[in-house]
Every structure is written in structure tokens, then in C-alpha cells.
Amino acid sequence: MDIIASYGTILILIAAAVGFFMAYGIGANDVANAMGTSVGSKALTIKQAIFIAMIFEFAGAYLAGGEVTSTIRKGIIDAAPFVDIPELMVLGMIASLFAAGTWLLMASFLGWPVSTTHSIIGAIIGFALVAVGTEAIQWDKVGGIVGSWIITPAISGFIAYLIFMSAQKLIFDTDAPLKNAKRYVPLYMGLAGFIMALVTIKKGLKHVGVDLGAVEGYALSVAVAVVVAVIGKIAISRLNIDPKADKQMQFNNVEKVFAVLMVLTACCMAFAHGSNDVANAIGPLAAVVNIVENNGEIAKKAAIAWWILPLGGFGIVAGLAILGKK
């Protein structure tokens, strides 16, 4: 307790530094999740991908990053054993950030895609085991997180299958794939815009003081979807396409149409990544700040300081801009 009272400001500054360091590693390593397919398919250049990711990663981190943060901050270890020794919790969270951030930086420098979530959760569990023991771990919560690592890919794969099969039936297996691509791709774009808008409205705008009801939220999301679909249709109409091409060439032209869709889905993926994985950096940081600001008391519920989410967002942007190319 004396450590927190005497060095509270210094501890927050150190935690902020290693939190930024961790966020930097997240941006450097995980940007490939959002932009790798777009760059690999040549829908975007690396510079364009980084520029787009900078905008949407930061937006996702700032607007919708608070939800997962609470899980990382207090959903892995039990705070009860640390009530009498809160400084151990503070030092442990700082150590976890530094350890995970160092590993991410090494992996990113070598071009290894690794999991930032696995890294920080493993680090937090490791410090708790050393500091207190197995009783400090909320194994049921950890089990749920580990389960999500299995369920999430399965759900993603199933949704991807449905989308691909719909595109196969509506576009590729038809006699006029190019015509149908122009007709249906804007609808896919509108769906992507609807989902991203809904997440932002329902989860993100509360951070900036805007709290819309369910009806208003869905109505605004539909409006955004319509606007995105119209913009997509206009963008597709301006593509350099030969309408008299044979079927094989039509498929080549269809790729150009889908490239427009891929840019939008890359934006959505970057937003989703920023909203989810920023918690890996700012969750432990938020725990440190809350403990220090409450004079060593480990509060069950506490608002995230206003500067923490932007710090995580800027860290991700810096990492992806400087080292994300690898």
C-alpha cells in the first residue's frame, strides 16, 4: 500500500508506457488479420492498407474498445487474494504488459503472426500463479475465453461458408456473372455497413455521450447501409469493364467488382480488430489506473479513464504504420 501511495503517479506512467508498447505490438502483428487478404489479392497496396487500417483500427479501439477491456481487466484473475496486497496486482499487470509486448515485438520483427490475446492472457495467468497460486485464477472465466478460441473460428467459418455459397449461387454459377455481381455486391456492401454501424451505435457512441434507443439505432444503421450500398454501386459503375467480354473474361471483371467489396470488408475487419484487441493492451493498464486512483482499493466496477482508449488506439496505429508491413 505504501508503494501505491508514494509512487502512484510513477506507476501509472510506467503502466501507460508499457500499455502503449503492448498496443504497438498489437498493431505491428495483428494488422495482417485485417489487411492481409486485401493486399494478397492486390485489391489494396500495402500503403493503402496501412492508411485504411490506421483510420478504422483507431475508430474501433476508441468507440467500441471498452467492452472487452473489462474482461481482460477483471475477468481472468480473482481480485480477492490481492485485496491486502494491491501493489502486487499493479506490478503484476505492468509485468504482464511488458512481457507480452516484448514477445509481440520480437514476433513482428521476425514476421511471425501470433495471437496477441493468447500472449496477454498467458502473461496475466503466469504472474498470478507466481504471485499467489492457482486460487488466484478464475478458471471458469479462462475456460470460457479458451472456448471462444474454438467457437469463434467455427462460427466465422460457417458464416463465411454461407456468404460464399450465396455468392456462388447468385453470381458465379449464372449465365451473366458480371451483371449479377454489379447487382448483388452493393447488397453485400450494405450488409457490412449495417453491421459496423450497428456495433458503433449500440456499443461505441456511449463513450462520446450519445445513447440512442433500439429503434433509432437500427434505423440509423439501415440508413448507413443504404448509403454504403449506393456508394458501392457508384464505385462499381466507374470500373473499367468490357461488357462484351466472354464468360472467362467476365470472371476477371467480376474480380474487379469484388475488389471494391474487399476494401469495405477490410475496413470492417480493421474496425472490429481495433474494438476487440485494443483490450489486450489497455485492460491491464485500466486495472493499474483504477487501483492507484482508488488508493489501493480494487473496485469491482470502475469507469475507464478518458485517456486510456485513445492511448491504445494510437499505439495500434503506430505499430501497424511502422512495423505492420512485415
Q: Grid coordinates representing 165?
A: 455459397
> In angstroms, what CA-CA distances link 215 with 158, 161, 191?
29, 31, 18
CB 218 within 8 A of CB 198: yes
CB 11 within 8 A of CB 299: no
In tens digits, the chain (326 residues) has pLDDT values of 577 777 888 999 999 999 999 999 888 887 666 777 777 777 778 788 778 878 888 887 777 666 655 666 666 888 888 888 888 889 999 999 999 999 988 988 887 878 888 888 899 999 999 988 888 888 888 888 888 888 988 998 999 999 999 999 999 888 888 889 999 999 999 998 898 888 777 766 665 566 777 788 889 889 999 999 999 999 888 887 776 666 666 777 788 888 888 888 888 888 877 877 777 888 888 888 888 888 877 766 666 777 888 888 888 888 888 877 76
Distance (Å, rounded) from C-alpha 246 to C-alpha 253? Answer: 10
Distance (Å, rounded) from C-alpha 186 to C-alpha 7? Answer: 56
Distance (Å, rounded) from C-alpha 324 to C-alpha 25? Answer: 9
Q: Where are the domains of the chain?
A: 2-322
Q: Which residue has the cell 509481440?
A: 104
CB 53 within 8 A of CB 267: no
> In angstroms, what CA-CA distances link 22 with 11, 108, 238, 279, 295?
16, 12, 42, 10, 25
| Ramachandran category for residue 242: left, alpha or beta (phi over 0 → left; psi -120 to 50 → alpha) | beta
CB 16 within 8 A of CB 311: yes
- Distance between first and last Cα of the chain: 43
Residue length of the chain = 326
